[in-house]
Amino acid sequence: MITFDAVTKTYPDGTVAVDNLSMEVPTGTLTVFVGPSGCGKTTSMRMINRMIEPTSGTITVDGRDIAAGNPVKLRLGIGYVIQSGGLMPHQRVIDNVATVPVLKGESRRTARKAAYEVLERVGLDPKLGDRYPAQLSGGQQQRVGVARALAADPPVLLMDEPFSAVDPVVRDELQIEILRLQGELQKTIVFVTHDIDEAIKLGDRVAVFGPGGTLQQYDAPARLLSNPANEFVSGFIGADRGYRGLQFKQANGLPLHDIQTVKEGEIDALSLVPGDWRLVTRDDGRPYAWLNAEGVELHRGGSSLYDSTIAGGSLFATGGTLRLALDAALSSPAGLGVAVDDAGQVIGGVRADDVVKALERQRRST
């Protein structure tokens, strides 16, 4: 457990970066520090490994006052991930990952062997270990950064806006990956972000920081959305917090509607009128894209399948949340979200009005 007890950080010019912070980060949880620029969230995190020293107050990790020990030894026992990975460009990937174990006294041979295993754990091909960071994509570099932080198996992991420098698609993949890793490893993670959606998606608990380095609310994501502590928290979350809250409600009992599907070889024989839609599926039953009357004519005229169809937006996997179901329905050009099973095969469609009805049923039952 990480405990902040009346911690304050004041700079020589009188600026208060963190003001009387008292909170506990439970062992084995992922806690997110979120807030606007200059609110003290990053300063608070960096005081955990003494990259920044507090002006007053006490920080303990598993009951030990961090100020009482050697700061270098403290940092070697805490994983640290930053934007863009923070990799050393002159070293191969495998040596970047092995950095901390080597600094702690392990032989390079032993550290490298373990590093290859960690690369696999974060979803990278071990063959990438022989490359240099510049030869990797941004997402791969960030995974290497996570691997380096995990290489020495630290109980505590600090992540300072690690995914803010990658594109939205890669960011979503990395978020899913960190949740998977946390499910396996159960580290005590402090994750800093300015993105409330990322905070709600990742955090077991979320600490919202405000002006003057003050802690405005520290709560579970669902409670943060349903019961913001004050106007600042409510404004920071945004007026659409009800929509965000759908991700905590399971889509149990949501009806699935029939979807008329078609294979590419059947398109030219179709007779569609404006407003009609067909879902083009691959040979294995997975969805490809939507087709309308105009698309049929384009395909008959020699256009490719890609040019004849319209992308279908997100998919709703069985067992998902009401938010995923609503996203699928609203992003579909046909107004019918595509539902798939665990194998990714089409099993039906979901409608936005059914999501609203399901939400009303859940409200009445509580």
DSSP per residue, 201-249: HH-SEEEEEEGGGEEEEEE-HHHHHHS-SSHHHHHHH-TTHHHHGGGGS
Please check the confidence at residue 363 and state whether its pLDDT lies above 80.
no
Mean pLDDT in residue range 302-312 = 91
Contact call for residues 82 and 164 (beta carbons, < 8 A): no
Q: How many residues are there in the chain?
A: 366
Instruction: Give residue-wise pLDDT tens across range 9-30.
Output: 999 999 999 999 999 999 999 9
Q: What is the CATH number of domain 261-365?
A: 3.10.580.10
For residue 206, which of 69, 9, 19, 23 has the smallest C-alpha distance? 23
Q: pLDDT-derived band of residue 304, with 50, 70 and 90 as boundaries?
A: very high
With a CB cutoff of 8 Å and minimum separation 6, the contacts of 303 are none
Greater confidence, 141 or 32?
Answer: 32
- The model's pTM: 0.74
- Among 3-7, 36-40, 272-276, 297-301, name the most confident range: 3-7
Q: How many CA atoms lie within 13 A of 103 on its CB side?
A: 16
**Amino acid 346: pLDDT:** 93
Q: At 332, which helix (H) or strand (E)?
A: none
In 3-state terms, what secondary structure has residue 169?
Answer: helix
**Amino acid 171: pLDDT:** 82
Q: pLDDT-derived band of residue 365, with 50, 70 and 90 as boundaries?
A: low
Please check the confidence at residue 137 and state whether its pLDDT lies above 90.
no
**Amino acid 253: pLDDT:** 80
In 3-state terms, what secondary structure has residue 318?
Answer: coil
**Amino acid 49: pLDDT:** 94
Q: pLDDT-derived band of residue 205, with 50, 70 and 90 as boundaries?
A: very high
For residue 354, which of 289, 346, 291, 330 has the smallest C-alpha distance? 330
Q: pLDDT-derived band of residue 2, with 50, 70 and 90 as boundaries?
A: very high
Could you count the other beta carbons within 10 Å of the beta carbon of residue 237? 22
Give the residue range(s) of CATH 3.40.50.300 domains in the chain.
Answer: 2-248
Q: How far is Cα 143 from Cα 136, in angstroms, rounded to an integer? A: 10
Q: What is the CATH number of domain 2-248?
A: 3.40.50.300
Give the residue range(s) of CATH 3.10.580.10 domains in the chain.
Answer: 261-365
Look up residue 99 and give its amino acid.
T
Please check the confidence at residue 165 and state whether its pLDDT lies above 90.
no
Largest separation between any pair of C-alpha atoms in the chain: 78
Contact call for residues 39 and 194 (beta carbons, < 8 A): no
The label of the residue with tokens 């960190």 reads: 178
With a CB cutoff of 8 Å and minimum separation 6, the contacts of 2 are 24, 25, 48, 59, 60, 61, 156, 188, 190
| Mean pLDDT rounded to a whole number for the chain | 90
Please check the confidence at residue 85 and state whether its pLDDT lies above 70.
no
Instruction: Give residue-wise pLDDT tens across range 115-134.
Output: 998 898 888 898 899 999 89
Please check the confidence at residue 72 and state whether its pLDDT lies above 80.
yes
Look up residue 179 and give its amino acid.
L
Q: pLDDT-derived band of residue 8, with 50, 70 and 90 as boundaries?
A: very high
**Amino acid 338: pLDDT:** 93
**Amino acid 188: pLDDT:** 95
